[in-house]
Amino acid sequence: LFLCDRSMDETQHILAIVFEVLTTRVMGNTSPYAVSFLLRFIYGVMQILTKAAFNQGTSTYVLNFYRHVIATMFLLPIAFAIERYAYFWLLS
């Protein structure tokens, strides 16, 4: 995987896989740079929001819980769409 590195947590790794599948099968060869920029931008915003939350006294457990809930809400529809598409693709 070209977007994955060792410093990613599980949610970021899953997002990198989804974006890689989208870039190789849907968007072609011109968009990996755009997707890479988008991912780095998202990571930067996430770091800024994390720093702001820690400065206000948020617990690491609470922040980790919210990150996983938001990631689940974001990835669940994508996972269902990919599985549904794969199911119909295998039948045809």
The full set of domain ranges for the chain reads: 10-91
Number of helices (H), then strands (E), in the chain: 3, 0
Tell me the per-residue pLDDT of 3-57, one tens digit each, with 9 for 90 and over.
Answer: 444 555 666 777 777 777 666 665 556 567 777 888 888 888 889 999 999 999 9
CA gap 52, 41 in Å, rounded: 17
CB 20 within 8 A of CB 2: yes
User: How does DSSP classify residue 57?
Assistant: T
pLDDT of 76 reads 94
pLDDT of 34 reads 76
pTM (predicted TM-score)? 0.52
**Predicted confidence (pLDDT) at residue 65 exceeds the cutoff of 70:** yes
